[in-house]
Structure 1
């Protein structure tokens, strides 16, 4: 299989990961190198559905060892499989950048062999781009649960942002849909990176290379396990306060696998619910609403007909005499 064939498979496989951004880091272009990153964001072109495209968004491999019910790349699916070599991905990134196609790299992967082996290849790609090719563009690197602390630390030195996807909002539902996973193994790299970032900021001067300057993000699938919006926003609130997450992304459940454990959706993905969650998230991050002001046990789900801000106002007429 040549590089173009691999790219077609692995770029398509990456589209379900929406925890992808291209801002939050201010990295100056290295002398004699190429590329830089801007905290204000990178805008290059727009796709037909309105999404900004600025990064080479791709998987290292889709040959996964896990068999998660909701994932297109699960090992029981009969789909074309491909795996890049680190050299192939490095050359792709550099050549795409030189042609002005991209401003950076969003690199994720299925777990190939072991978490350490997968993370080792991801780190190798980022390290060689930075140190050998003097690449100053934006790099978002997926952190693999189960990988060693040393590899996660190296990822933080070379990447602008990292992400570990929580995937399913409740641990019980995650273990039902993905028996080989649990929230404890996902929280471990999140907490490690958050702690190291805080330590690095304290110990190093502002002139030292930064550790994950654009922080962390995560993603939740919405509607695959019967969770309420209260459960989702409670979890998001914890991420922002405890792991200092920069963003929590929500992805409406898409029925891509036939599995009796998953809900049978006959309509489109719950995009309105996804939109309401982003509106609520905005109220929490920028207007300092508590999650329990937006939803509570009496109203555990957001109103699909009303903006969360309007719904809050209607429940609190005492604020508008």
Structure 2
């Protein structure tokens, strides 16, 4: 039974929810965010705080396979603060899992208008284009709902916020930072060396190669998922969860990251991560163990 948290402020509840989310306790995280939402709504705090809380709870629902609730929370978040990148991507991933490909395309495409360098939005748009072409043929664009036009001010604010976050916190810039061509080639070479070692079942050596590769290019999703596979093979499950989390920050709908994260949670006996039939990870099991 969860402990009573009535004395906690909404910011403390949010922080506790974030910690639960990081450790894979998505149901508990959703409960904490729900309490924080109630407190913020009662106090009449600004819409930005409330938007973030709804988006965070949506992320918990998405990880938990509750895609319908994820869509609802993302929609509320976007009503409060229009054109938020995270709720757009999360709702897009949820729509995709629910096979509502036209709506998923609209969300991914809207995110691309805000920043055309977001890998999750690029990959999502490409996936939906392929799906819609197969379903509706070459006239699929005619059947799309209207795609919102993103105001220039929103694009500029996002760009400034991203740059400021990088400068102030010294953190990796996930969307804007593009390594040089030589650096990317070096990262790819190290990754391929890691792949070769995996084929020989030399997982610890492969981990070293992937780690070196990520130092050169920390935004390569498949390197994280490949290293996660190695961590699973050597029973380093917490490390596997961490790598899958990094991959999912870059691409919230990444099938391999979702599946391998679920495997790691199962080994860690985190029961708050069910393989729900509505979860996108359950829509495709083939080739999940292949290296990219």
With structure 1 as the length reference, what TM-score do the two structures score? 0.29
Higher strand share: 1
Higher helix share: 2
